[in-house]
Amino acid sequence: RAASLGTAEGARLARWLAEEHPELPVVRRTTSGPAILTEFGELLELQQDFPPAFRALGRPVSASQEGRDCYHWYDSLKAQWPAALPERRELVAVRMLRDLSHLALHDVRGMSHVLPLLAESGGEAGETTHLAVAYGLGARHPEDRLAAVDALLVLAARGQLDAPRLGADLGQLIRRGAVKSLRLVDSLRTAAATGAHTTVWNLLGHTLPVLLADLA
Protein backbone atom coordinates (compact mmCIF):
# COMPACT_ATOMS: atom_id res chain seq x y z
CA ARG A 1 0.00 0.00 0.00
CA ALA A 2 2.80 2.41 0.81
CA ALA A 3 4.42 1.83 -2.59
CA SER A 4 1.10 2.40 -4.37
CA LEU A 5 0.96 5.99 -3.11
CA GLY A 6 3.30 6.98 -5.92
CA THR A 7 5.33 9.35 -3.78
CA ALA A 8 8.95 9.36 -2.71
CA GLU A 9 7.85 9.09 0.91
CA GLY A 10 5.61 6.14 0.11
CA ALA A 11 8.43 4.35 -1.69
CA ARG A 12 10.78 5.02 1.22
CA LEU A 13 8.24 3.67 3.70
CA ALA A 14 7.70 0.58 1.55
CA ARG A 15 11.44 -0.11 1.55
CA TRP A 16 11.57 0.49 5.31
CA LEU A 17 8.78 -2.00 5.95
CA ALA A 18 10.19 -4.62 3.58
CA GLU A 19 13.72 -4.60 4.95
CA GLU A 20 14.85 -6.12 8.19
CA HIS A 21 15.76 -3.51 10.76
CA PRO A 22 19.53 -2.97 10.94
CA GLU A 23 21.45 -3.52 14.11
CA LEU A 24 21.51 -0.83 16.75
CA PRO A 25 24.43 1.60 16.93
CA VAL A 26 27.52 0.69 18.90
CA VAL A 27 26.71 0.99 22.61
CA ARG A 28 29.26 2.10 25.18
CA ARG A 29 28.66 1.95 28.92
CA THR A 30 29.99 4.87 30.93
CA THR A 31 29.62 6.38 34.38
CA SER A 32 28.76 9.82 35.69
CA GLY A 33 29.26 9.99 39.45
CA PRO A 34 27.34 7.04 40.90
CA ALA A 35 25.18 6.71 37.78
CA ILE A 36 25.72 4.18 35.01
CA LEU A 37 24.74 5.52 31.59
CA THR A 38 25.10 4.47 27.97
CA GLU A 39 26.32 6.23 24.85
CA PHE A 40 25.31 5.39 21.28
CA GLY A 41 27.18 5.74 18.02
CA GLU A 42 25.53 7.09 14.90
CA LEU A 43 22.87 5.30 12.89
CA LEU A 44 23.31 6.32 9.26
CA GLU A 45 19.99 4.87 8.16
CA LEU A 46 18.01 7.42 10.15
CA GLN A 47 20.16 10.27 8.88
CA GLN A 48 19.95 9.29 5.23
CA ASP A 49 16.44 7.95 4.77
CA PHE A 50 14.32 9.99 7.16
CA PRO A 51 12.96 13.54 6.76
CA PRO A 52 15.23 16.29 8.13
CA ALA A 53 13.21 16.70 11.33
CA PHE A 54 13.96 13.09 12.31
CA ARG A 55 17.61 12.83 11.31
CA ALA A 56 18.89 13.90 14.71
CA LEU A 57 17.62 10.55 16.01
CA GLY A 58 20.42 8.88 14.07
CA ARG A 59 23.22 11.03 15.44
CA PRO A 60 25.56 9.88 18.21
CA VAL A 61 24.30 10.23 21.78
CA SER A 62 26.80 11.07 24.51
CA ALA A 63 26.52 10.63 28.26
CA SER A 64 26.10 14.37 28.62
CA GLN A 65 22.79 16.00 27.82
CA GLU A 66 24.16 17.04 24.42
CA GLY A 67 22.46 15.07 21.68
CA ARG A 68 20.00 13.41 24.01
CA ASP A 69 16.96 15.56 23.47
CA CYS A 70 15.71 18.86 22.17
CA TYR A 71 15.21 21.93 24.32
CA HIS A 72 11.49 22.12 23.56
CA TRP A 73 10.75 18.48 24.47
CA TYR A 74 9.06 19.23 27.76
CA ASP A 75 8.64 16.59 30.45
CA SER A 76 4.91 16.46 29.73
CA LEU A 77 5.68 15.22 26.20
CA LYS A 78 8.09 12.47 27.16
CA ALA A 79 5.31 9.90 27.37
CA GLN A 80 5.01 10.35 23.61
CA TRP A 81 8.68 9.68 22.87
CA PRO A 82 8.30 5.89 22.41
CA ALA A 83 5.88 6.60 19.56
CA ALA A 84 8.63 8.42 17.64
CA LEU A 85 10.49 5.14 17.05
CA PRO A 86 8.11 2.40 18.18
CA GLU A 87 10.36 -0.41 16.89
CA ARG A 88 13.59 1.09 18.23
CA ARG A 89 13.02 1.36 21.95
CA GLU A 90 16.76 1.49 22.71
CA LEU A 91 17.09 4.72 20.72
CA VAL A 92 14.34 6.22 22.87
CA ALA A 93 15.67 4.80 26.14
CA VAL A 94 19.16 6.23 25.66
CA ARG A 95 17.69 9.73 25.42
CA MET A 96 15.73 9.24 28.63
CA LEU A 97 18.27 7.35 30.71
CA ARG A 98 19.91 10.29 32.47
CA ASP A 99 16.52 11.71 33.46
CA LEU A 100 15.33 8.28 34.61
CA SER A 101 18.45 7.89 36.74
CA HIS A 102 17.28 10.95 38.69
CA LEU A 103 14.35 8.89 40.01
CA ALA A 104 16.81 7.01 42.18
CA LEU A 105 19.67 9.49 42.50
CA HIS A 106 17.82 12.74 43.14
CA ASP A 107 14.38 11.56 44.30
CA VAL A 108 12.66 13.07 41.24
CA ARG A 109 8.98 12.18 40.97
CA GLY A 110 6.89 11.14 37.99
CA MET A 111 9.33 10.23 35.21
CA SER A 112 8.77 6.47 35.35
CA HIS A 113 5.37 6.61 33.65
CA VAL A 114 7.30 6.09 30.40
CA LEU A 115 8.76 2.75 31.53
CA PRO A 116 5.67 0.60 30.80
CA LEU A 117 5.46 2.32 27.40
CA LEU A 118 9.06 1.39 26.68
CA ALA A 119 8.38 -2.17 27.78
CA GLU A 120 5.43 -2.37 25.41
CA SER A 121 7.41 -0.95 22.49
CA GLY A 122 9.02 -3.03 19.78
CA GLY A 123 12.62 -3.70 18.97
CA GLU A 124 15.42 -5.02 21.11
CA ALA A 125 15.11 -4.61 24.86
CA GLY A 126 18.80 -4.07 25.36
CA GLU A 127 21.24 -2.70 27.87
CA THR A 128 19.75 0.79 28.04
CA THR A 129 16.15 -0.36 28.48
CA HIS A 130 17.20 -2.63 31.33
CA LEU A 131 19.17 0.15 33.01
CA ALA A 132 16.11 2.39 32.74
CA VAL A 133 13.99 -0.22 34.51
CA ALA A 134 16.69 -0.66 37.15
CA TYR A 135 16.57 3.04 38.04
CA GLY A 136 12.78 2.87 38.21
CA LEU A 137 12.89 -0.08 40.60
CA GLY A 138 15.10 2.03 42.86
CA ALA A 139 12.99 5.18 42.61
CA ARG A 140 12.26 7.24 45.71
CA HIS A 141 8.49 7.47 45.26
CA PRO A 142 6.18 4.41 45.45
CA GLU A 143 4.18 5.31 42.35
CA ASP A 144 7.38 5.43 40.31
CA ARG A 145 8.50 2.07 41.64
CA LEU A 146 5.07 0.64 40.79
CA ALA A 147 5.40 1.82 37.18
CA ALA A 148 8.83 0.19 37.00
CA VAL A 149 7.39 -3.06 38.34
CA ASP A 150 4.74 -2.89 35.61
CA ALA A 151 7.51 -2.52 33.03
CA LEU A 152 9.41 -5.43 34.57
CA LEU A 153 6.36 -7.68 34.39
CA VAL A 154 5.61 -6.68 30.79
CA LEU A 155 9.15 -7.54 29.70
CA ALA A 156 8.97 -10.85 31.55
CA ALA A 157 5.58 -11.73 30.05
CA ARG A 158 6.87 -10.99 26.55
CA GLY A 159 10.00 -13.07 27.03
CA GLN A 160 12.18 -9.97 26.67
CA LEU A 161 13.51 -9.71 30.21
CA ASP A 162 17.23 -10.38 30.52
CA ALA A 163 17.31 -11.30 34.21
CA PRO A 164 21.10 -11.78 34.39
CA ARG A 165 21.66 -8.34 32.87
CA LEU A 166 19.08 -6.53 35.02
CA GLY A 167 20.12 -8.37 38.17
CA ALA A 168 23.79 -7.53 37.67
CA ASP A 169 22.93 -3.91 36.87
CA LEU A 170 20.95 -3.62 40.09
CA GLY A 171 23.87 -5.03 42.05
CA GLN A 172 26.29 -2.57 40.48
CA LEU A 173 23.95 0.38 41.05
CA ILE A 174 23.54 -0.54 44.72
CA ARG A 175 27.31 -0.87 45.14
CA ARG A 176 27.82 2.54 43.56
CA GLY A 177 25.18 4.13 45.79
CA ALA A 178 22.86 4.97 42.90
CA VAL A 179 20.06 2.68 44.13
CA LYS A 180 19.07 2.11 47.75
CA SER A 181 18.58 -1.54 48.63
CA LEU A 182 15.41 -0.98 50.68
CA ARG A 183 13.68 0.64 47.71
CA LEU A 184 14.62 -2.30 45.51
CA VAL A 185 13.33 -4.72 48.14
CA ASP A 186 9.98 -2.94 48.11
CA SER A 187 9.79 -3.16 44.31
CA LEU A 188 10.64 -6.85 44.27
CA ARG A 189 8.13 -7.52 47.05
CA THR A 190 5.47 -5.84 44.90
CA ALA A 191 6.46 -7.94 41.88
CA ALA A 192 6.37 -11.13 43.94
CA ALA A 193 2.91 -10.25 45.23
CA THR A 194 1.63 -10.44 41.65
CA GLY A 195 2.85 -14.02 41.42
CA ALA A 196 6.11 -13.28 39.60
CA HIS A 197 8.16 -15.34 42.05
CA THR A 198 10.39 -16.91 39.41
CA THR A 199 11.21 -13.52 37.93
CA VAL A 200 12.12 -12.12 41.33
CA TRP A 201 14.29 -15.11 42.23
CA ASN A 202 16.08 -14.92 38.89
CA LEU A 203 16.87 -11.26 39.49
CA LEU A 204 18.10 -11.86 43.02
CA GLY A 205 20.23 -14.73 41.78
CA HIS A 206 22.26 -12.24 39.76
CA THR A 207 22.04 -9.24 42.10
CA LEU A 208 23.27 -10.89 45.29
CA PRO A 209 26.55 -12.27 43.86
CA VAL A 210 27.54 -8.74 42.83
CA LEU A 211 26.79 -7.42 46.32
CA LEU A 212 28.58 -10.30 48.04
CA ALA A 213 31.65 -10.26 45.80
CA ASP A 214 33.66 -8.14 48.24
CA LEU A 215 33.10 -10.71 50.99
CA ALA A 216 34.58 -13.59 49.01
In a domain, 122, yes or no: yes
Q: What is the pLDDT of residues 17-31, one digit of tens each?
A: 676 665 678 899 999
In a domain, 36, yes or no: no
Q: What is the pLDDT of residues 178-212, one digit of tens each?
A: 999 999 999 999 999 999 999 999 999 999 999 99
Tally of domains within the chain: 1
Q: What is the pTM of this model?
A: 0.88
**Residue 67 pLDDT:** 47
Give me the half-sphere count of Cα atoms (radius 13 Å) on the Cβ side of residue 182.
2
In a domain, 168, yes or no: yes
| Per-chain mean pLDDT for the chain | 88
In a domain, 33, yes or no: no
In a domain, 200, yes or no: yes
In a domain, 66, yes or no: no
Q: DSSP state, 40? A: E
CA dihedral 76, 128, 188, 213 (to 10 degrees): -140
If DSSP codes are grouped into helix, strand and coil, which group holds residue 37?
A: strand
In angstroms, the CA 53 to CA 204 distance is 43
Q: Of the given ranges (18-27, 45-54, 130-139, 172-181), which has the lowest mean pLDDT?
A: 18-27
Side chain identity at residue 167, one-letter code: G
In a domain, 60, yes or no: no
Domain that holds residue 131: 75-215
